[in-house]
Each structure stands twice: as structure tokens, then as C-alpha cells.
């Protein structure tokens, strides 16, 4: 644990703290552009902050750190960021399709990652 990891963790916690607000807003008007767009932006920045935190944790450890091997190229994390970007762009055209992109990412993360089990 070092200062950089703590600051990056605070960055992630800030974006996570905005989720209840945007979730309530999208719950009230899920067909409006601005709430769906705001929800997507918050989710995108949460994903980016998580990606940065993960990279900082891996960077602060040596080459033999088990998480480095398990994460690998982090395909799931990169796909999430792409789907959030697609959702944000789609929110301008059709908010319900945008919500579907956000739901796909959530479902994708519900599927357990077998790499952790295999490496332990």
C-alpha cells in the first residue's frame, strides 16, 4: 500500500458515490436523454477509475505478483469501457438501447472469471 494507491482508490470511491444519485434519476425518467447519459458517464468513469486502480496495484508489486498473471490483458475491463462509450453515444439517439448496453456490462461481470480459481 502506498500513497498513489490510496489516491487512486479515493478517485474510484468518488465516482462510485455518484451511482445512487444517477440511479435514482434514471429510475424517475429512464426515457429521457440527460439521466441516461449521466448514468453512462458515471459508469464509464467508475470503470476507468477501477482500471487505473488495478494498474497501480499491479505496478506497485513485482513481476511475480499473482494478480498480474490473472488479469493479463484485462479484456473484460476494456470491453466494459467500450460498451459504456457505446451506451453514452446511443443515449443521444435512443435511451432504452443505451440502458441495454449498460445491462450487458452488468451481466458480463456477473459471470465468474475462472482465471482466479485456476491460478490459486
Q: What is the pTM of this model?
A: 0.89
> Look-up: residue for cell 450487458?
104
Range of the domain at 40: 3-119
Residues 6+ apart with CB under 8 A from 26: 35, 36, 38, 39, 99
Task: Give yes or no for a contact between 62 and 25, defined as CB atoms under 8 angstroms apart.
Answer: no
Res 116: pLDDT: 66
**How many structural domains compose the chain?**
1
Share of the chain above pLDDT 90, in %: 68
Task: Give yes or no for a contact between 106 and 51, defined as CB atoms under 8 angstroms apart.
Answer: no
Res 10 pLDDT > 80: yes
Res 21 pLDDT > 80: yes
**3 state SS of 74:** coil
Task: Give yes or no for a contact between 102 and 87, defined as CB atoms under 8 angstroms apart.
Answer: yes
Share of the chain above pLDDT 70, in %: 95
Amino acid at each position: 500500500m502506498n500513497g498513489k494507491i490510496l489516491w487512486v482508490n479515493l478517485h474510484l470511491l468518488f465516482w462510485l458515490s455518484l451511482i445512487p444519485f444517477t440511479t435514482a434519476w434514471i429510475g424517475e425518467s429512464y426515457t429521457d436523454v440527460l439521466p441516461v447519459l449521466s448514468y453512462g458517464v458515471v459508469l464509464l468513469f467508475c470503470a476507468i477509475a477501477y482500471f487505473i486502480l488495478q494498474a497501480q496495484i499491479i505496478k506497485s508489486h513485482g513481476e511475480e505478483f499473482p494478480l498480474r498473471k490473472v488479469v493479463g490483458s484485462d479484456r473484460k475491463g476494456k470491453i466494459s469501457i467500450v460498451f459504456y462509450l457505446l451506451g453514452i453515444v446511443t443515449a443521444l439517439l435512443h435511451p432504452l438501447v443505451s440502458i441495454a448496453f449498460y445491462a450487458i456490462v452488468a451481466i458480463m461481470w456477473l459471470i465468474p472469471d475462472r482465471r482466479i480459481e485456476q491460478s490459486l
